[in-house]
Amino acid sequence: MIEGRTGAWEIVIGLEVHAQIVARAKLFSGAATEFGAEPNSQVSTVDAAFPGMLPVINRHCVEQAVRTGLGIDAEINLHSVFDRKNYFYPDLPAGYQISQYQQPVVGRGRVGIDMPDGTTREIGITRLHLEQDAGKSLHDQHPRDTYVDLNRAGIGLMEIVSEPDLRTAEEAGIYLRKLRSILRYLGTCDGNMEEGSLRCDCNVSVRKPGAPFGTRCEIKNLNSVRFVMQAIDIEARRQIDIIEEGGTIAQQTRLFDTARGETRPMRSKENDFDYRYFPDPDLLPLVLDPAWVAGLRAELPELPDAKRARFVRDYGLSPDEAGVLVAERATAEFFEAVAQGRDPSAAANWVTGDLFGALNRKGLGIEHSCVAPPQLGGLIDLIANGTISGRIAKDVFAEMVETGADPAAIVAAKGLRQVTDTGAIEAAVDAALAANPAQVAQYAANPKVLGFFVGQVMKTTQGKANPALVNELLKKKLGG
Amino acid sequence: MALSHLTDLTLAAARDGLRAKKFSARELASAYNVAVEAIKPLNAFITRTPDLALEMASAADARLAKGEGLPLDGIPLAIKDLFCTKGVLTTAASHILDGFTPPYESTVTERLWAAGAVMLGKTNLDEFAMGSSNTTSYFGPVENPWRRQGDNRPLVPGGSSGGSAAAVAAHAALGATGTDTGGSIRQPASFCGIVGLKPTYGRCSRWGVVAFASSLDHPGPMTRTVRDAAIMLGAMAGHDPKDSTSAPIPVPDYEAALTGDIRGLKIGIPREYRIDGMAGEIETLWQAGIDWLREAGAEPVEISLPTTKYALPAYYVIAPAEASSNLARYDGVKFGLRVDGDSLNDMYEKTRAAGFGAEVRRRVLIGTYVLSAGYYDAYYLKAQRVRTLIARDFAAAFERCDCILTPTAPSAAFAIGEKADDPVAMYLNDVFTVPADLAGLPAISVPAGLSDGLPLGLQIIGRAFDEATVLRVGQVLESAARFTHLPSFIVGAQG
Amino acid sequence: MALDKATVARIATLARIRVGEDELEPLAAELSSILDWVEQLMAVDTDHVPPMTSVAEMTLPMRDDVVTDGNNRDGVLGNAPRAARGFFAVPKVVE
């Protein structure tokens, strides 16, 4: 809810996500889909809508769309139709986009989102359909011209439309991250928002609680979760202000100006709400074999929600901890490799704590981790069997990150084995006490002085003394 | 053999002559290059490719010398300028494709060259194949090589494949490719006294053919004889994986199907094709056709195709609708004409206004309208439902007959400029041809008689993928009709 | 079905074809006469008749996910009325 001058307002949000399909070739042509190629070097005359060119559908793209539908628990429509959506824009060479209008390949589904308070909300999916991506228009390369690169034109997209079930920008962010996670698990979209393989259009309207839906505006082409959330709040605020001042909301397509922090109408789409959809006569209806769909279902990987439940059940992790680990499939797999035959809690802590920290600092994804699961596992083993202390382990880990060396090797090379020999520790303790009589005297009044002595002992043992033993002996000798 | 006599040969005879080494492919191509020049007054060609023809002919001669003869080796053909030909200007007879040189070859022409044929040039047509008279071309109208007795007015060759029809009729090509969307192969064939075959939808690939109406466009051959059409179709037809509507059905030997034997076949005579005010000669010719087929041992059977009269209006909703979308790509950005503008929309609007002729503009606007919000159900969906009824009519009829005999056109050729004021009057030229396009069924027009000295054709419509029967019955008609008349403007000894 | 000037103007904009003010009226008349003639379709009983989806009785053929095309910038840009630095150039669009 947002507070306006006239009371509380509810925001109603629906997201339309455009997810580029992971495939070698485009949806209806044999041109390549790689990101970052030289302009117009990955363009077929079919993509460029030359005279006489015709579309032929890529089977793998259909498969990816169906698998995604299965992954969001949706109905698969065994009979669907491709329609032409007609409008003029330079990045749309044919003057129409091949899409699906009334009979999409995937129907109603759902995505569960995990709220910070531990509850789960179910967000409805209205549909998922296949369509072509458009090319790219560059408006800043020349004073009077827009430059057009058609490399992206014709790449397969899955348009995933949510029901208007979201109520806050925060929910929208969680939903988007969850959807992205599912797509990455399935391998149907790489979810890279900076590169544009995942884009989000946001439908936002406001209403007083209990009132019917208000007029919505669509904010297009948001390319980060952060921008999605910002745009929602800014647009909701804009609409509330208008209504509270007695105005009405014009249904519009808008852009989010990230620099100015405001949304504004998109001029080129002003006059073109009539897309004149009709079934594409160059294509036939898409008819799917139920046995084929069943086969795809059987081979789906374990998805985030199921994996999280299993982690909680089998590893005794908390839902929150498990949630962090399953957000990325690669992380979950890393964790499981480390956790085999070890304390899962320790594995979880090391992965989400020190490992994530190191990877963030180095700008690496877990797939390119400088520390491999057996190495991290080895480190945990060394702590568990008392070879090193937890404190020393942090140093060893830092060294592993820098050099890629195995923990055992580092411990040996640097002589970091924990000192557990009571006699040696006792000697160090006695030395510390003897060297600091003033602090010994303070102990009775101020027990925190223990920490000082622990520090002294650690210094003289190069940190290798077993902390528990040090504490025990100090207390005995000081406390009397 | 004298150059001038070479152009008298049919495609089949020329093929046999080349194989028997009575003359060379180069000689044949030279004769046709001369012929193409000679028919300049007809304006049948937009682009002539005499050097390329000779080059291709030389290659054919080399193959023939080695005894490696391909089915159409050395056969000079004219190509409707709707088929994209690699490296050769392709205009669709429109200003908006100014200068367009495709970097690819259409599948159909690729197959013809792979069969050894030789390209004489690109023929004129109605702009974007929209028309029944070849008077809407940016490059000016085509003249029919036929003239009315005692009348000097130039006549239309029919359309949209008017240039192809005129070239074949005037003996300036051994055959030509055409496309038929509402009758654009058969009607000009009828007006020019030649054979025109519209195959089943999907029989010949549409890849590389400038699209007019995707669900209705049919590439096909236009020739002097039925045998020639069978030979040419055999080379043009076949499955193309680049065209999703291309039929994955093997190509039979169409020439071998010309057995001349139609005994026992049932010939459907549809009562609804007998329209009010139909010219007497058309009726008479139709009856003659019925008699010829009966004499050859076939059995005429009266059938009913109740939805026939709604075929034309249904066509004039569906075809413009698809065309309005297919022609959206002509926008001054990727190829062809660009008229600069102050803004993007200004550029689009000016380019398309300058680039499209009046008939194209008319159809694009109608098409845009019938697809627009609020009208889609009433017009487009309605027309597609009527189309289903037309297809069902034929399906029901084919349970009682094996093919259908009708006139091809409601009249003979008319003067250039006649019917120019009323688009609907022009559309009515296609009343007998359009139903077979809507149903995607194979149909042939065979020259059968004269009216006022001008050719009239008879049409045979067959079951889907039964071009063999259509050709066989067509040839029987051809033999019986003995149409040996030639147009006044013709290349060769009689010219 | 009579089309008025305003409708013709709207359709012309949708179709991106500039029609002069003086052409609107005659064009409206022409298009109206065509649509009037087409109107006769309404007389046909099409209850329970499905719209034709394809004359071809076949299923949608699919291609393998293999790169077979592209890498042909010259071919793609070669016919462009205006190209620059590997791009198609059009009058600038202001969003």
Cα separation, A338 vs B484, in Å, equals: 91
Cα separation, B194 vs B188, in Å, equals: 8
**Interchain CB distance below 8 Å, B244 and A56:** yes
pLDDT at A480 over 70: no
Residues of chain B with Cβ-Cβ distance to A90 below 8 Å are: 333, 344
* Predicted confidence (pLDDT) per residue in A82-111, tens digit: 999 999 999 999 999 999 999 999 999 999
Cα separation, B105 vs B199, in Å, equals: 21
Is C50 within the bounds of a domain? Answer: no
- In this structure, what is the dihedral angle of CA atoms A286, A289, A290, A293, given to the nearest 10 degrees? -80
Tell me the residue type at B221. P
| Interchain contact C93–A (C-beta under 8 A) | yes
pLDDT value of position B57: 98
Is C15 within the bounds of a domain? Answer: yes
> Contact partners of A by the rule of 3+ C-beta pairs under 8 A?
B, C
* Predicted confidence (pLDDT) per residue in A234-244, tens digit: 999 999 999 99
pLDDT at A51 over 70: yes
Which residues make beta-bridge pairs with B197? Answer: B444
Of A51, A93, A281, the CB nearest to B214: A281
How confident is the model over B14-26, as a mean pLDDT?
A: 96
pLDDT value of position B420: 77
Question: Residue C73: how many CA atoms within 13 Å on its side-chain side?
Answer: 14
For residue A100, what are the CA distances in angstroms to A79, A379, A450? 12, 53, 72
Cα separation, B441 vs B387, in Å, equals: 13
| Interchain contact B202–C (C-beta under 8 A) | yes
Question: What residues of chain B, 45 to 104, have a C-beta less than 8 Å from chain A?
Answer: 83-84, 90, 92, 97, 100, 102-104
B80 tagged catalytic: yes
pLDDT value of position A360: 93
* Predicted confidence (pLDDT) per residue in A421-461, tens digit: 778 888 888 888 889 988 888 888 888 888 888 899 888 88
Cα separation, C95 vs C77, in Å, equals: 25
Q: How confident is the model at residue A268 (pLDDT cuts 50, 70, 90)?
A: low
**Interchain CB distance below 8 Å, A276 and B325:** yes
Is C83 within the bounds of a domain? Answer: no
Is C95 within the bounds of a domain? Answer: no
Q: Which CATH number is associated with domain A422-479?
A: 1.10.10.410
- Mutate which of A145, A221, A267 to disrupt the C interface (most C C-beta within 10 Å)? A145
Enclosing domain of residue C21 = 5-43
How confident is the model over B18-26, as a mean pLDDT?
A: 96
pLDDT value of position A389: 85
Phi, psi (5° rounding) for residue A58? Answer: -85, 115
Question: Residue B206: how many CA atoms within 13 Å on its side-chain side?
Answer: 30
pLDDT value of position C95: 64
B372 tagged catalytic: no
- In this structure, what is the dihedral angle of CA atoms B131, B132, B133, B139, given to the nearest 10 degrees? 30
Contacts of B437 (CB under 8 A, 6+ apart): B180, B181, B182, B183, B198, B216, B218, B315
Cα separation, C18 vs B339, in Å, equals: 12
CATH topology of domain B1-495: Amidase signature (AS) enzymes (3.90.1300)
The segment with the largest mean pLDDT, out of A254-263, A268-277, A388-397, B189-198, is: B189-198
Name the residue in chain B with its Cα closest to that of C44: B386
Using a pLDDT cut of 70, give the percent of chain B over it: 99
Q: How confident is the model at residue A382 (pLDDT cuts 50, 70, 90)?
A: very high
How confident is the model over A286-308, as a mean pLDDT?
A: 96
pLDDT value of position B4: 61
- Mutate which of C27, C34, C59 to disrupt the B interface (most B C-beta within 10 Å)? C34
pLDDT value of position B439: 97
- In this structure, what is the dihedral angle of CA atoms B16, B19, B25, B31, given to the nearest 10 degrees? -30
**Interchain CB distance below 8 Å, B389 and C46:** yes
- Domains: count for chain C: 1
Q: Which of B24, B30, B80, B445 is an active site residue?
A: B80
A222: left (phi over 0), alpha (psi -120 to 50) or beta: beta
| Interchain contact A145–C (C-beta under 8 A) | yes
Using a pLDDT cut of 90, give the percent of chain A over it: 76
Residues of chain C with Cβ-Cβ distance to A39 below 8 Å are: 73, 85-87
pLDDT value of position A147: 97
Q: What is the overall mean pLDDT for chain B? A: 96
How confident is the model over A238-256, as a mean pLDDT?
A: 93
| Interchain contact C79–B (C-beta under 8 A) | yes
Question: What residues of chain A, 38 to 57, have a C-beta less than 8 Å from chain B?
Answer: 45, 48-57
The enclosing H or E element of C28 equals helix C21-38
Name the residue in chain C with its Cα closest to that of A278: C53
| Interchain contact C68–B (C-beta under 8 A) | no
Which residues make beta-bridge pairs with B176? Answer: B78, B222
CB A28 within 8 A of CB A138: no
Contacts of A468 (CB under 8 A, 6+ apart): none
Q: Mean pLDDT lowest for which of A442-456, B335-349, B385-399?
A: A442-456
Q: Classify residue A188 by its DSSP letter.
A: S
How many C-beta atoms lie closer than 10 Å to residue A404's C-beta?
A: 11
pLDDT value of position B308: 95
pLDDT value of position B150: 86
pLDDT at B231 over 80: yes
The label of the residue with tokens 């030789």 reads: B118
How confident is the model over C20-45, as a mean pLDDT?
A: 95
pLDDT value of position A269: 54
Question: Residue B301: how many CA atoms within 13 Å on its side-chain side?
Answer: 19
How confident is the model over C36-40, as a mean pLDDT?
A: 94
pLDDT value of position A440: 87
- In this structure, what is the dihedral angle of CA atoms C63, C65, C71, C73, given to the nearest 10 degrees? 60
| Interchain contact C14–A (C-beta under 8 A) | yes
Full DSSP string of A130-150 = EEEPP-EEESSSSSSEEEEE-
Tokens (6 digits) for B152: 């000097």
pLDDT at B492 over 80: no
Residue B438's Cα: distance from chain center in Å?
16
Question: What residues of chain C, 19 to 48, have a C-beta less than 8 Å from chain B?
Answer: 19, 27, 30-31, 33-35, 37-42, 44, 46
pLDDT at A271 over 60: no
For residue A84, what are the CA distances in angstroms to A96, A132, A150, B93? 6, 10, 19, 26
pLDDT at C2 over 90: no
Tell me the residue type at B242. K
Tokens (6 digits) for B61: 């001669």
Cα separation, A470 vs A427, in Å, equals: 11
Q: How far B207 CA sits from the closest chain A CA (Å)?
A: 5
Is C76 within the bounds of a domain? Answer: no
More confident residue, B341 or A462: B341
pLDDT at A371 over 90: yes
How confident is the model over B213-242, as a mean pLDDT?
A: 98
Residues of chain B with Cβ-Cβ distance to C92 below 8 Å are: 344
Cα separation, A458 vs A465, in Å, equals: 6
Of B103, B334, B376, the CB nearest to A49: B334
Q: Which of B215, B216, B224, B173 is nearest to B196 (CA)?
A: B224
CB A476 within 8 A of CB A450: no
Kindly state the greatest CA–CA separation across chain B: 70
**Interchain CB distance below 8 Å, A90 and C88:** yes
pLDDT at B495 over 50: no
Cα separation, A8 vs B347, in Å, equals: 48
Q: Which of B94, B133, B160, B190 is an active site residue?
A: B160
B160 tagged catalytic: yes
**Interchain CB distance below 8 Å, C81 and B337:** yes
Q: How confident is the model at residue B426 (pLDDT cuts 50, 70, 90)?
A: confident
Using a pLDDT cut of 70, give the percent of chain A over it: 99
Tokens (6 digits) for A194: 């900076």
Q: What is the overall mean pLDDT for chain C? A: 93
| Interchain contact C89–A (C-beta under 8 A) | yes
Cα separation, A436 vs A450, in Å, equals: 12
The order of strands in the sheet holding A96-99 is A96-99, A83-86, A278-279
| Residue B192 burial (C-beta neighbours within 10 Å; 0-12, 13-18, 19+) | buried
How many C-beta atoms lie closer than 10 Å to residue A138's C-beta?
A: 14
**Interchain CB distance below 8 Å, B362 and C31:** yes
CB B111 within 8 A of CB B152: no
* Predicted confidence (pLDDT) per residue in B273-319, tens digit: 998 878 899 999 999 999 999 999 999 999 999 999 999 999 999 99
Is C14 within the bounds of a domain? Answer: yes
pLDDT value of position A464: 83
- Which sequence spans correspond to the domains of chain A? 2-295, 302-414, 422-479
Cα separation, B441 vs B391, in Å, equals: 9
- 3 state SS for chain B: CCHHHHCCCCHHHHHHHHHCCCCCHHHHHHHHHHHHHHCHHHCCEEEECHHHHHHHHHHHHHHHHCCCCCCCCCCEEEEECCECECCECCCCCCHHHCCCCCCCCCHHHHHHHHCCCEEEEEECCCHHHCCCCCCCCCCCCCCCCCCCCCCCCCECCCCCCHHHHHHHHCCCCCEEEEEECCCCCHHHHHHHCCEEEECCCCCCCCCCECCCCCCCCEEEEEECCHHHHHHHHHHHCCCCCCCCCCCCCCCCCCHHHCCCCCCCCEEEEEHHHCCCCCCHHHHHHHHHHHHHHHHCCCEEEEECCCCHHHHHHHHHHHHHHHHHHHHHHCCCCCCCCCCCCCCHHHHHHHHHHHHCCHHHHHHHHHHHHHHCCCCHHHHHHHHHHHHHHHHHHHHHHCCCCCEEEEECCCCCCCECCCCCCCHHHHHHHHCCCHHHHHHCCCEEEEEEEEECCEEEEEEEEECCCCHHHHHHHHHHHHHHHCCCCCCCCCCCCCC
How many C-beta atoms lie closer than 10 Å to residue B9's C-beta?
A: 22
- Which sequence spans correspond to the domains of chain B? 1-495
The enclosing H or E element of A15 equals strand A7-20
pLDDT at C87 over 60: yes
pLDDT at B494 over 60: no
How confident is the model over B136-151, as a mean pLDDT?
A: 95
